[in-house]
Structure 1
Amino acid sequence: MATIVGPETSNTPYFTLITTLDPDDLAKASTLLLSAVEARPKLTQAFRLEVKFLQENAQFQICLDPVLWYDVYLRVNPRLDEAVRIAREYVTSIRTQILPEEDGPFVVEYDEIEKDKAFIPCNKIYLIINPNVTIISYCCDENPSENCCYCPVLIEIKLTIITDNEGLVQRSEFWRDLIEQRQRLNFHSIAVNYGRWETGQSRDKYAQACHAHVHLLFDREAWEGVKGIVTNKITLSKLNTRNYPGPNYLLKDCTELEQQRLQLAEHQYMLASITKLSVSVENSNKSLIDAISSLTVAINSLNRLVEDKDKKEYYNQ
């Protein structure tokens, strides 16, 4: 397994690591990268783990929130000009690499909690304390049966955490299952969010604690292949709404970095440069004045010598 390359070396908001496709190595790589982030607690507020699968290995990359990256790694740099240069070069490189976004169709965003998005509500009769108490349960099957539903009330009372994103990627079993699914679905990468990037779209504390989930990334050809496998019309209509990519998060991150940190830092650097230039001009003016004064004295002395010489020649005639 290769060594982790961090932001100090790359001058970017990334931790990177390359490993084999062995499930145990993939789990170990996840643990190493998560530990690297947790060593700087502020970074854990928001970050994303991305894994790109190649022919014989996997490229891991932790993408930090660029604002937090600036605060932890660049703001402490005593040289403001260097910090501004590194941040500006990163923003420029991202905007150069990413093509203009393709406009997708209009999509309605429903204001629903995470469980409502992930499960289909259904009514079941359960025995809890009193017999025949009706409660709301949730089901992931479009034709609910008794054994496919679960009761969120029972789970929340027990305070049982099923799993979260951090624990998920450190399990060899997860990577083994994922590689098997990749052979069938042909996705090229995955992304897993942490911190506020994980919980930002969920208003349900239960979903935040227990709903571990991984984003699968497809190219257009592979995505069409996935839809070809689906026979259910309702499921297919949901997949069709994902035919167009969403807003590019890297461009959004660069905009936030500019607005929240970089523009102010560049302004401070410009003011510092102007002040430094003003002092330099004042020193240059003082030096010029001193030089002119010295030159004036020298000219006056020369003129006196010439006058004295002329007087001597006049009296010697």
Structure 2
Amino acid sequence: MDLTGMIQNPVEDQNSEQKLSKEEYAALKKQEREETWMQIDGQAQSVFKDGASLQKFLDFMAGQYNMPKVPNLLLLYSQNPEVKLVKSFDEWKHDRRSLRTGVHGYTYIIDTKYEKDGEMRSGYAISKGYDITQTKGRPLEERPQRDIHTLLEAVLKNQNIRLQIADNLPDKIQAQYIPNQRTIYIRNGMSEITTFHAINRELACAALDQHDGNYARNRVNAQAFCATYILGKRYGVDVSGFDLEKVAGIQEHGQKDPQELRLFLNDVRTAAYGIRGHIERNLREPEQQFVTEDTFTVGESEKKSPDKGKKSKNEPER
């Protein structure tokens, strides 16, 4: 039996590193981390170069099947903006998918656990990730296209924040989150598309409220705007009304400190993926209704319960 091509191992991780001394290995890994973070920071700056660059990156975020953290989003985007679902070798193995012959992984950060001073601690390692197109198995299921009415219902259902129609909103204000009331006030009578975007924008603002008394709309408005774009793009809602150039301008076209840019994107991710999770749950959960027939109904007992009003033969009269 020829096992060639049947045995799957992460070949790229099996290299000369094993022959290095402990000090050499540590130095190599340190250099690898530094180079990776330089790549991440460089990509963060490129994303905000202009509105078109930012739009492409937000499109990339919208198209992800899972919800990678910002460093991995930037890393993967810099290597291949077409990837949709990247996991480590072990994660794909757990999902019972194997790698295609000859594929090369993408630089990818994985979470790790290690013990130090008797305590388990969290860390990370620079490893390799593989897109689903590089694996063997069933293809991803296409996301069904939802109409705007269904999407709005999914957004509004079971919200943990109060939503209220308001007739006294200032002109040109579509909706607004008021933090001390934990309420989003919404203008009635707008188009369904405008309503979808307006509610998501305010939900994003609410998601970024830390409830510490320091909430300021001007500190989260741009992030909420980007998160709203991602949600519209993901669900096929018209996003032609979004001007992302002004967001790039606020970020000084990528000239700000890369860590600050990554924090901005992390806020975008937190808000967008949080609302997305809420929508997805509601799209998966049908309304609970009474069934008309139950295959596993418990049958009536053949043994009748004794008549409590009758005395048994052995029970003495009192």
Q: TM-score, normalised by structure 2?
A: 0.28
Which structure shows the higher helix fraction?
Answer: 1
Q: Which has the larger radius of gyration?
A: 1
